[in-house]
Amino acid sequence: MENILYAPWRTDYITGQKIEGCVFCHISTHEEDDETLHVLYRDEHCFIVMNRYPYTPGHFMIIPHRHTDSLEVLDPVVWLHMSTLAQKGVRMLKESFGAHGVNLGMNLGRAGGAGIAEHIHLHLVPRWERDTNFITAIAQTRVYSTDFEVIFRRLKEASENYFL
């Protein structure tokens, strides 16, 4: 028996315009496209962007503007700033988005599991009690239960109260 999982929202990923070079550097340098790139916040050190193919609804990343694949060479001021943004992001996910918990993580290097290994980024993944089900355990598949754009708008509005 063949299992089919329809994911029409991924059509843009397959057929859409491909970004040449580092996707995070592209987002960093195209502030005028923040809405279409799903940027929640930006300042002189970092930007916060929704993960376009999230683990759970509301999954976003904090990314330094500086292109580096090495946490150990990142300016400590930028790292501390990322940590401060992470604290604010966790608060926002819990208070404004109803998350019961949050996973924080960085996958450093391709061997460390990074999908975009050339530019470090910190993931914030909201979690809820019982947010997994049989399809995750049996089919290694995640079901995204809500519209990405609706979540982006909701978090964009909330971010104005947490990151400014």
Q: Is 121 tagged catalytic? A: yes
Backbone angles phi, psi at 46, to 5 degrees: -145, 170
Tokens 């990322």 sit at which residue? 82
Tell me if 11 sits within 8 A of 22, measured CB to CB: no
Amino acid code (one letter) for 152: F
| CA dihedral of residues 65, 71, 76, 79 (deg, nearest 10) | 60
* Active-site annotation holder among 45, 119, 121, 123: 121
Burial of 32 (0-12, 13-18, 19+ CB in 10 A): exposed
Give the catalytic positions in this structure: 121
